[in-house]
Amino acid sequence: MIKKILTVAVLIGLNLTLVGQTCQPDTSVKSPGYFPADLDTAIELSMYSMTVQVHSTRDTLVDNPFGGGQIAATIDSIIVDGVTGLPPGISYICNPSNCRFVSLKTHCINLFGTPTQGSAGNYPMVISVTAKATLAGGFKTSVTEQIRNFSIVVRDDNISSNQWVKANDGIKIYPNPSKSNLNIENLQNINGVIQVYNAEGKEIEKRLINGSQKISMNNERWVSGIYTIRLTFADGSVSHTQINKL
């Protein structure tokens, strides 16, 4: 009923401040929007804490449920129903504690915890929310939506930062976006593993790299969306990239 209400209305401003479990809203956040999109990297067995400042807009245009194009609507509040895809050992808490964010006010979510041993990898998060809105004429409505803008990378506590972000010059992944086939080239003289994760952080494909020059994956049946390609090399280093499946 409400066309992409969260891409218009749930507009998140990120203040990357490391704090304790209880976060404090930053009242200086006034402009709707989110920036930057990347969360800090977490490390296995090390305490992680990050505050996300949230400020949503109030007035927007939505599809008229009775037909006839778009009409004005007022966003009354946004309720965070849950966050999935978090790394093992990481949780979240809202301020206010009921995770109900009133429009035109600043609120916050804190991601905190200690990633468990063996949890290294990329974790695309899915934030499920319900938007409460009032349409022109006083008609009340609500819609559920999912935000998929954020992910947390967990690094092995035995791998240095230089190893974690490995330069992958020469490796080609194409086409991007892709529709039916995904190709990964220039893998000769490389040994390791290629893994593909969907937006919920679930592994959907895994291939061994044994010096093959090229690997092709049929992704015709993949659901449209963003996927993370993780390359783990024989020396323990890891590289990530994302592709868009049409």
Give the model's pLDDT for residue 157.
Answer: 65
Mean pLDDT of 169-175: 75
Span 161-245: which CATH code? Answer: 2.60.40.3080
Mean pLDDT of 8-29: 56
Whether the predicted pLDDT of 87 surpasses 90:
yes
Helix (H) or strand (E) holding 181: strand 181-185
CB atoms within 10 A of CB 118: 11
151 forms bridges with which residues in the sheet? 124
Whether the predicted pLDDT of 17 surpasses 70:
no
What is the rounded average pLDDT for all residues in the chain? 78
Please name the amino acid found at residue 234.
A
Give the model's pLDDT for residue 242.
Answer: 74
Per-residue confidence at 7, pLDDT binned at 50, 70, 90?
very low
Q: pLDDT by residue (tens digit) across 49-82?
A: 888 888 887 887 777 777 777 788 898 999 999 9
- CATH 2.60.40.3080 in the chain is located at 161-245
Mean pLDDT of 72-100: 93
For the chain, give me the number of helices (H) and strands (E)?
2, 18
Cα–Cα–Cα angle for 233, 237, 240, rounded to 5 degrees: 85
Span 5-155: which CATH code? Answer: 2.60.40
Whether the predicted pLDDT of 200 surpasses 70:
no
User: Which three-class secondary structure state does DSSP give residue 8?
Assistant: helix
Whether the predicted pLDDT of 214 surpasses 80:
yes
Give the model's pLDDT for residue 91.
Answer: 93
Task: Output b/e per residue, 13-32; b: 16+ Cβ within 10 A.
Answer: bbbeeeeeeebebbeebeeb
| Residue that the structure tokens 């992910």 belong to | 151
Whether the predicted pLDDT of 189 surpasses 70:
no
| Residue that the structure tokens 């304790």 belong to | 20
For 236, which DSSP code?
S
Sign of the dihedral through C-alpha 66, 71, 76, 78: positive
* 123-127, 143-147, 242-246: range with highest mean pLDDT: 123-127
Q: What pTM was estimated for this model as a whole?
A: 0.57
Whether the predicted pLDDT of 2 surpasses 70:
no
Give the model's pLDDT for residue 20.
Answer: 43
Give the model's pLDDT for residue 34.
Answer: 62
Token readout for 193 is: 């593993």
Strand 151-155, strand 42-43: pairing? parallel
Give the model's pLDDT for residue 139.
Answer: 86
- Rounded Cα distance between 104 and 59, Å, is 10
79 forms bridges with which residues in the sheet? 100, 130
